[in-house]
Amino acid sequence: MKTYHLFLLLFLFFYVGSTTIVFAQEEEEDEPGLQQLIQEFSFTEAVYLQERREVQATLSYFRTEFDIQVGNSLSLDLEYGITDWIQVSAELENNLLQGTDRNYTSHRLEMGTMVRIFNSPRQAATFALEVEFPLNKPDIVVEGVEEDELSYSPSLRYARQFGNTQLHLSGGTELQADETSWFYSAAAVYGTGRWHPLIEITGTYQESADWYAGTGIAINHLRGWEIIAGVRRSLNRPDWDASLRVLYEFTLGNE
């Protein structure tokens, strides 16, 4: 199964790389890029980068229920556009997992960068690398939750425009100690007006596959503010997640 996941990820890299060459020849440098319909999805990473000197602050709340445990997570994410082709980010997250007889609390810091591969009116692609640093080392480990370790997550993100709808695809791997897991997602956003319906399918694989399907709504054009709410359910287990994200985008200084 690991060979299959590696093949799929390499195929995505090859497809985007070959498409980059074609579009570099066809697209003019001053042609506008892919329209940014929303800033973020509920559970899927978007292909959009912050423009030069642009800052995005996102406050996110996630709730997860699985088996006999309930998880709550609160995070603050800051993204900054160094240029129109590269951004950096930092996210501080606090997690609380409540079980039947004990709790598990973790705090982590995630640093990341995202680089644009190409950007045209019809499609765009980026490469992202995120590094997660544990800020605490709990002595108690609840079943299903591993002790925190430094992890690296390279991923590839791609989006294509179909009329008023965009399809976003992503795939990557998380490297943590001697363990490797894979993650994939497909999301669609409809882009007219202020309200944007979302559909998302996400999957992870380590020792077994776990797939989620969900829906949500994004509301933007609120003078820099955006609100995203969504819910998803596991397709092979009685688990579900809910999220609420509020973000604000602004530009530092004048050009």
Please list the residues that pair with 225 across neighbouring strands: 222, 248
Using a 10 angstrom Cβ sphere, with 0-12 exposed, 13-18 middle and 19 or more buried, the burial of residue 182 is: buried
Residue 2, phi then psi, degrees to nearest 5: -65, -35
What CA–CA distance (Å, rounded) separates 181 from 171? 11
Q: What is the pLDDT of residues 96-114, one digit of tens each?
A: 877 655 677 888 999 999 9
Q: Does pLDDT of 39 surpass 60?
A: yes
CA distances from 74 to 17, 59, 176, 224 (A): 36, 7, 22, 21
Rounded Cα–Cα distance for residues 43 and 244 (Å): 10
What is the model's pTM? Answer: 0.83
Q: Is 90 exceeded by the pLDDT of residue 206? A: no
Q: Is the pLDDT of residue 143 over 90?
A: no
Confidence of residue 3 (pLDDT cuts 50, 70, 90): very low
Mean pLDDT for all residues in the chain: 84
What pLDDT score was predicted for residue 142? 46
Domain ranges in the chain are 2-251
pLDDT tens sequence across 217-242:
999 988 889 999 999 999 988 889 99
What is d(CA 223, CA 221) in angstroms, rounded to the nearest whole number?
6
Q: So what's the pLDDT on residue 195?
A: 94
Residue 25 in this model has a pLDDT that exceeds 90: no
H helical segments located in the chain: 2-26
Residue 234 to residue 71: CA distance in whole angstroms: 15
pLDDT in tens, 149-192: 789 999 999 999 999 999 999 999 999 887 899 999 999 999 88
Predicted confidence band of residue 144 (pLDDT cuts 50, 70, 90): very low
When pLDDT is cut at 50, 70 and 90, the band that residue 93 belongs to is very high
- Could you tell me the fold of the domain covering 2-251? Porin (2.40.160)
